[in-house]
Amino acid sequence: MDWDKDWLANAHEGMSRRQFLARVTAAGAAVAGYAPTSQAVAGEIISTPTAGLTVVEGKVNAAGFAVPVYLARPARGGQYPVVIVLPEVFGMHAYIKDVVRRFAARGFLAATFEPYAREGGVLHLTEMGDLRKVVDAVPDARVMADLDALVAYVKKDADARPDCIGVTGFCRGGMYALLYAAHNPEVKAVVSWYGQIKPPKPAGIRSAGPLDIAARIKAPVLGLYGAEDLGIPVADIQEMESALQSAGTTAEFVIYPNAPHAFHADYRPSYRENAAKDGWARCLAWFTQYLKS
């Protein structure tokens, strides 16, 4: 089964019938700032206020193209570790921006970007098939180059600690987080939320997945995955953890029982509150340990 269908297949597990029906009923309704293809649900969406934060929406030049970026940090001046947040397949939408603000509220300078800006973005697409045609055609090398540009931009911020850079991502962004850690030795910590371990490798798009380049990742890696993720077998998760540890990299992979793919996505039926909250606490502790100490 394709990973993008997983949240539909697993959505009811671990939920009361009333909660599931309420979410499914709401699923067809548009939620401002979310991709229609995500089937955004308004039930338990977390919204982080900007009070006490400095939020910047701008653009970064990457190979001659102005890539939209979103940055947040505490409003008071200081030197803050950097966390780069890599979006899901839906791009830089409201949920990803909120995650950026969540990190800023906890004392980080966080930033994200729109990977599909050159294609006009994907927020206007209503069918998953149409969305996949766009995102699946984007080469990993282009994403890595855009991330290089974003990191260079953030490192120039007067409030950033340029020697303390972490990366995290969700779904496809979780895969990119692992790939970028292998690409950029400046990365000091990684948290991958259900990022694919053995993705397809279409010619001209991807030459290697995270497992293929595990030995090149030197930064400590925390992996947060669901046992009921129909697109990422538990055996693959365990294989990735073992490969990292065998290469001498600090790695801890947590597999949540009864959790499907996208269990942190509070705007989708796949959301699992207990796993999401525990994963977030672990994520913050990981970055605090490896970026703030």
CB atoms within 10 A of CB 85: 26
d(CA 90, CA 174): 13
CB atoms within 10 A of CB 138: 17
Q: Nearest to residue 266, comparing CAs of 193, 215, 214?
A: 193
Could you say which of 4, 164, 171, 183 is catalytic? 171
Residue 176 sits at the vertex; the CA angle it makes with 175 and 178, to the nearest 5 degrees, is 70
Could you say which of 4, 6, 229, 266 is catalytic? 229
CB atoms within 10 A of CB 169: 27
* Burial of residue 232, with CB atoms counted within 10 A of its CB: 0-12 exposed, 13-18 middle, 19 or more buried: buried
Could you say which of 146, 261, 266, 283 is catalytic? 261
Is 6 considered catalytic here? no
Strand partners, 190: 167, 221
Is 264 considered catalytic here? no
Is 261 considered catalytic here? yes
Q: Which residues are catalytic?
A: 171, 229, 261
